[in-house]
Structure 1
Amino acid sequence: MKEHDAKYYISKLGLDAHPEGGYYKRTFESEEQTSDQELTVEFEGKRKLYTSIYFLLGSNDISHFHRLKSDELWYYHAGSPLTVHVIDEHGAYIEHKLGLNLDKGESPQVLVPKNSIFGSSVMDENTFSLVGCMVSPGFEFRDFELFTQDELLSKYPQHKDIIMKLAYEAIPV
């Protein structure tokens, strides 16, 4: 199989720019919904049981630190391995490697628990990573929260190096 580049996948899969960085397209969503009274997390209104996207990140891009109210499960598809950087609810920093080289500590799937602050970066230079992300309860932009460096540094100064790399200096308008 011929190795394709990022532009190929962006075009063929119809990916659009994502506010956190990279490119995405919603691919699947449940027809079923649940109400806010049935969930243990506080949501406004109903949510689909799950949503799923393609997500592509180039090695010169980053997925900026953000938070969701739902669990997000990541699946490796193509390109370079991806590092998923997580600051959990307790303030611990965890680095997950998403890829297929199990001998190097990579995993084909990674779970980011709800309410974690997380972002991602491509592990190899001059390439890209194509992954899938499934969110349950389903993703809604109203549950998506981006962070500035100052916001995160005030809470997690011990993680300054990764915060300076993955958080926005100012959130774009």
Structure 2
Amino acid sequence: MTKPTASFWIHKLLLQPHAEGGYFRETSHSPELIVTEDRRERYLYSNILFLLTADNPSHFHRLKSDEVWYFHEGNALTIHLLHPDGCYEAVKMGRQTEKGELFQFTVPKGVIFGSSIEGQSGDYALVSCMVSPGFDYRDFELLPYDALLKDYPDCGPILEKLAYKTLPGTSFRSGPT
């Protein structure tokens, strides 16, 4: 039996390109709505499938909600976190727990993060992500290289890899309708 490829999962799971990089599809959200501090209705939680490849990482972005990652398949990945106090942290996710890799990890709200896979073209990681309160593009912020370099001057190499020099032009939609 051959190992599934990134293309197999993208087509099998009906994943679409994401503005931050990688491929995704929302799989569910809570039937319940909550009202946030800024008086907007949001799902209590939302879930996506998310696939990254070695040549299509998740670029640095920030959410106003916690995001829980669950590792499923493929190569180990690294979640790169830029904390508000200026500290950098790298968290490994994968199947090799003896090497410190985690099956799940929570990215705290307000922390800037991106994710990458070390490897060759074609290598991938398939994860699920749950956001609570539910994901809403109005709470999603892509951050450009120049802005990040000002606040994180010691993180140049990882910014070079995971920060857009020019933000992609996209239109976003999500959340309760």
Query: What's the TM-score, normalizing by structure 2?
Result: 0.91
> Which residue of the other structure, out of 75, 79, 84, is the alignment partner of 2:74?
79
Which residue pairs with 2:44 in the alignment? Answer: 49
Which residue pairs with 2:158 in the alignment? Answer: 162
Contact 1:122 1:129 in 2 (8 A): yes
> Which residue of the other structure, out of 108, 126, 129, is the alignment partner of 1:130?
126
Q: Deviations over 1:93-122 (max 9, x none)?
A: 110001110111100001100000000001
Q: Structure 1 CA distance, aligned partners of 2:168 and 2:36?
A: 30
Q: CA deviation at 1:159?
A: 1.2
Provide structure 2 residue ranges, at least 5 long, that are not aligned to the other structure.
170-177
Which residue pairs with 1:40 in the alignment? Answer: none
Query: What's the TM-score, normalizing by structure 1?
Result: 0.93
For 1:21, give the aligned amino acid: G
Q: Structure 1 CA distance, aligned partners of 2:72 and 2:5?
A: 13
Contact 1:51 1:138 in 2 (8 A): yes
Q: CA deviation at 1:44?
A: 5.2
Runs of 4+ in 1 over 2 A off after TM superposition: 123-126
The CA RMSD over aligned residues, in Å, is 1.2
Contact 1:81 1:124 in 2 (8 A): no
Which residue pairs with 1:62 in the alignment? Answer: 57
For 1:59, give the aligned amino acid: A
Which residue pairs with 2:173 in the alignment? Answer: none
Q: Structure 2 CA distance, aligned partners of 1:44 and 1:141?
A: 16
Given the alignment of the two structures, is residue 171 of structure 1 paired with residue 148 of structure 2, yes or no? no
For 1:96, give the aligned amino acid: V
Which residue pairs with 2:149 in the alignment? Answer: 153
Count of residue correspondences: 168
> Which residue of the other structure, out of 68, 87, 91, is the alignment partner of 2:86?
91
Q: Deviations over 1:109-166 (max 9, x none)?
A: 0110000000000133231110000000100111100011101011111211111111
Q: CA deviation at 1:60?
A: 1.1
Q: Structure 1 CA distance, aligned partners of 2:29 and 2:96?
A: 30
Q: Deviations over 1:53-92 (max 9, x none)?
A: 0000111111100000000000001110111000112221
